[in-house]
Chains A and B, each alone.
Chain A
Amino acid sequence: MPGVEGFMYPNEISLYWSVLIVLYPFITGLVAGAFILASLERVFRVEAVRPTYRLALLTALAFLLVAPLPLQLHLGHPERSLEMYMTPHRTSAMAMFGFVYLWYLMAVLTVEIWLDYRADIVALSNSTTGWRRWLYRILTLGSQNVSERALHIDERVGWLITLIGIPSAFLLHGYVGFIFGSIKANPWWSSPLMPVVFIFSAMVSGIAAVMLLYMVLMRLRRQPIDMSCVDTIAQYLLYIFIIDFSLEMLDLIHRIYEADESFRSLDFMVHTRLWLSQVVLQICIGTLTPILLLFLVQVTKLSVPVRKRIYVVSGSLALIGIFAMRWNVVIGGQLFSKSFLGYTTYKMALATREGLLVSIALTILPLVILWVLVKLLPPWPEKRHAPLPAALAAD
């Protein structure tokens, strides 16, 4: 049979989870990572990253709005997806998706963004005209109160929500890892490390994405890039990248040393079908190279233009590496037979519902949403109408 090597159980020959399911953890990872970067400023008072605080929140929202789409498009019966809310099956990790997603969207992210922007929205609802005025009026939810006391309450509640938001972000993405990690039938997935690896890789991708977006947007706005901000972000990116890589290597070494019944099969797969996407793209290009580049910045004194270039290159490579990681988990986990006796091939379609074009569109869509959000709710500190939160102003 073409594309099949060795023996596959006959129902295993075609893959059931396509590139869309690769996009799903990639996108939710960006959400969780971007949010955690935002929380660095809000909860952990990392002052230097303040210029990206609002951008990180808007990025998280833009990607979060798109996150369910790949799942929805992949379902055989998308029209039945609401049943997950109506009759969730309590033992299913996937059934919790809807609830974790809604919790994160409605109870954390939108509320935090709204509270942070409330004074701006009120100001904009008074200073704009036409449809924008109406839109901002609706967004005020009927409250024009921007007294000092009201803003103080906003700031305290916002802080509390960020505090709740951090474990929620971990939950959102750790849970995605659990979906894979809890499948005992699949040794490539089944690992208690999976949720942890997913969380740290999410932080890598989210932080890299916000760093890149910030640099690109500042360039587009012809504004100077706050180097102390991107230096700090790059530093965090390096630390988290090292933790992420160590965890993945721990998993790998454990597998190699333990060499259980699945090992020969998986080892062969990594050396053949996954060689390019795993060893070359994920580990060498997407992980080791950016780690080395970011490390270089830490140990040497490089000029601003060189540092900027390094950050752009390592941020982009990190995103490629994390995408490759998602690919290797989702697609790699279906390329070998559960009999450990054979391998199949994934053929990505071009213009089908689960094809390449749709995936590209779904990758671009969050950027379009982000563009609209940035236009409506400018994330730039100099456009802030509200006074800085008391805690930060005091610093």
Chain B
Amino acid sequence: MNITRRHLLILLPAAAVAWESVLAGTPESSPNYTMTEHWWGMLIDIPKCIGCGNCVRACQAENDVPDGFFRTWVERYHVNDWQLANPQVISPDGGKEGFPSVAEDPEGKYFFVPKLCNHCADSPCTQVCPVGATFISPDGVVLVDQKYCLGCAYCVQACPYGCRYIHPTKKVADKCTLCYHRITKGLTTACCEACPTGARQLADLKNPADPIHAFLKTHSVQVLKPQMATGAKVFYNGLDGSVR
């Protein structure tokens, strides 16, 4: 076959695309799991959280999270009376080792707010990724393909909740995967499993039998920063107006 210069110019990009697809390989399969049958989120029951930090430790152990960075963390809010705009917030080492005790009869109220990636349905982080290395899976989990991520940190800037970071040694974006390796095998996340009070519960919004539906019917829940319109899927029960 005679290949002219023109043919070569047409063939080269096609070959490059084909080579890309060969390099990408076949994704890992999970035979008993159908992605389209699930739509994952989480329920966080703020009155139940005792700030023990079990979830943070479990997450770090399960996912090999580097020191100083967090896929999940716990904040303690102190709100004085009506001063919703001026909460005192702390999260020493992400709340990993719990929190310092407070005075016996404190002014105002104290409560804990566990945070993690909200696995937004309209996530601003996936929107801005220049190569599509971060994406929303068909079952509603925001993931990062770390073999593809450039490490440009644009997604870190775009996340309104501070849930992303650049992994200090891998040099790629890292974040909560909702323990995707566990939930696709029918397990719950490490943080939910470690929570002693059931303050965190994995929720499958597509599963009619999931207790989340009964809970949502009978409780007023809220998402963080609803004004951002990100379609966040981490629902908070008892969320105070001071939380941001």
Query: Which A residues lie at the B interface, using CB under 8 A?
Result: 7-13, 16-17, 71, 74-77, 80-81, 83-84, 86-89, 91-95, 97, 179, 182-186, 264, 333-334, 337-341
**Contact assessment for B131 and A185 in the assembled complex, using a CB-CB cutoff below 8 Å:** no
For the complex of A and B, list the 8 residue pairs with the smallest distance between their C-beta atoms, beginning with the closest: A76-B151, A9-B162, A76-B171, A185-B160, A89-B132, A16-B153, A95-B130, A7-B89
In the complex, which residue of chain B has the Cβ closest to the Cβ of A185? B160
0/1 interface trace, chain B 123-167, chain A, CB 8 Å (1 if under): 010111111100000000000000011111110111111111110
**Contact assessment for A77 and B158 in the assembled complex, using a CB-CB cutoff below 8 Å:** no
Output the residue of A16, A87, A182, A186 with the most chain B CB within 10 A. A16
Tell me if B17 counts as interface (CB < 8 A to partner A).
Answer: yes
Q: Shortest CB–CB separation between residue A87 and chain B, in angstroms? A: 6
Q: A7-B90, A75-B151, A76-B172 are in contact. Are A86 and B17 (CB under 8 A)?
A: yes
Q: A16-B157, A186-B157, A339-B244 are in contact. Are A92 and B16 (CB under 8 A)?
A: no
Report Cα–Cα, A84/B159, bound state, in Å.
21
Report Cα–Cα, A10/B116, bound state, in Å.
11
The A-B contact count (CB < 8 A) is 125
Q: A81-B150, A185-B228 are in contact. Are A337 and B162 (CB under 8 A)?
A: yes
**Contact assessment for B150 and A184 in the assembled complex, using a CB-CB cutoff below 8 Å:** no
* Chain B hits for A86, CB < 8 A: 16-17, 20
**Contact assessment for A185 and B159 in the assembled complex, using a CB-CB cutoff below 8 Å:** yes
Number of chain B residues whose Cβ lies closer than 8 Å to a Cβ of chain A = 48
Q: Name B91's contact: one of A7, A77, A80 (CB within 8 Å).
A: A7
* Chain B hits for A12, CB < 8 A: 162
Q: Name B161's contact: one of A16, A71, A338 (CB within 8 Å).
A: A338
Q: A77-B150, A83-B148, A341-B89 are in contact. Are A11 and B130 (CB under 8 A)?
A: no
Tell me if B73 counts as interface (CB < 8 A to partner A).
Answer: yes
Q: Name A75's contact: one of B73, B85, B124, B150 (CB within 8 Å).
A: B150
Tell me if B70 counts as interface (CB < 8 A to partner A).
Answer: yes
Tell me if B69 counts as interface (CB < 8 A to partner A).
Answer: yes
**Contact assessment for B127 and A92 in the assembled complex, using a CB-CB cutoff below 8 Å:** yes
Tell me if B87 counts as interface (CB < 8 A to partner A).
Answer: yes
**Contact assessment for A77 and B131 in the assembled complex, using a CB-CB cutoff below 8 Å:** no
* Chain B hits for A95, CB < 8 A: 130-131
Report Cα–Cα, A76/B171, bound state, in Å.
5
Q: A11-B162, A81-B150 are in contact. Are A184 and B124 (CB under 8 A)?
A: yes
**Contact assessment for A76 and B166 in the assembled complex, using a CB-CB cutoff below 8 Å:** yes
Q: Shortest CB–CB separation between residue A300 and chain B, in angstroms? A: 46
* Chain B hits for A183, CB < 8 A: 124, 128, 157-158
**Contact assessment for A338 and B172 in the assembled complex, using a CB-CB cutoff below 8 Å:** no
Tell me if B53 counts as interface (CB < 8 A to partner A).
Answer: no
* Chain B hits for A89, CB < 8 A: 129-132
0/1 interface trace, chain B 153-193, chain A, CB 8 Å (1 if under): 11011111111111000111000000000000000000000
Q: Shortest CB–CB separation between residue B225 and chain A, in angstroms? A: 9
**Contact assessment for B153 and A11 in the assembled complex, using a CB-CB cutoff below 8 Å:** no
**Contact assessment for B156 and A16 in the assembled complex, using a CB-CB cutoff below 8 Å:** yes
Report Cα–Cα, A334/B70, bound state, in Å.
18
In the complex, which residue of chain B has the Cβ closest to the Cβ of A95? B130
In the complex, which residue of chain B has the Cβ closest to the Cβ of A330? B157
**Contact assessment for A185 and B91 in the assembled complex, using a CB-CB cutoff below 8 Å:** no
Q: A12-B162, A338-B160 are in contact. Are A97 and B130 (CB under 8 A)?
A: yes
For window 2-50 of B, CB contacts with A under 8 Å fall at 16-17, 20
**Contact assessment for B128 and A92 in the assembled complex, using a CB-CB cutoff below 8 Å:** yes
Q: Name B158's contact: one of A10, A71, A81, A185 (CB within 8 Å).
A: A185
Tell me if B114 counts as interface (CB < 8 A to partner A).
Answer: no
**Contact assessment for B152 and A94 in the assembled complex, using a CB-CB cutoff below 8 Å:** yes
Q: Name B132's contact: one of A81, A87, A186 (CB within 8 Å).
A: A87
Q: Shortest CB–CB separation between residue A90 and chain B, in angstroms? A: 9
**Contact assessment for A80 and B150 in the assembled complex, using a CB-CB cutoff below 8 Å:** yes
0/1 interface trace, chain B 49-93, chain A, CB 8 Å (1 if under): 000000000000000000011100101000000000101111101
Q: A86-B17, A88-B131 are in contact. Are A94 and B124 (CB under 8 A)?
A: no
In the complex, which residue of chain B has the Cβ closest to the Cβ of A6? B89
**Contact assessment for B130 and A77 in the assembled complex, using a CB-CB cutoff below 8 Å:** no
* Chain A hits for B157, CB < 8 A: 16-17, 183, 185-186, 333-334
* Chain A hits for B163, CB < 8 A: 11
**Contact assessment for B228 and A77 in the assembled complex, using a CB-CB cutoff below 8 Å:** no
* Chain A hits for B149, CB < 8 A: 76-77, 80
Report Cα–Cα, A264/B86, bound state, in Å.
11
0/1 interface trace, chain B 87-107, chain A, CB 8 Å (1 if under): 111110110000000000000
* Chain A hits for B91, CB < 8 A: 7, 9-10
In the complex, which residue of chain A has the Cβ closest to the Cβ of B165? A11
**Contact assessment for B94 and A10 in the assembled complex, using a CB-CB cutoff below 8 Å:** yes
**Contact assessment for A84 and B162 in the assembled complex, using a CB-CB cutoff below 8 Å:** no
* Chain A hits for B127, CB < 8 A: 91-92
Q: Beyond A92-B130, A185-B158: 6 further Cβ-contacts under 8 Å? A: A9-B115, A10-B69, A83-B148, A89-B129, A183-B124, A185-B160
Q: Name B128's contact: one of A17, A93, A339 (CB within 8 Å).
A: A93
Report Cα–Cα, A186/B156, bound state, in Å.
11
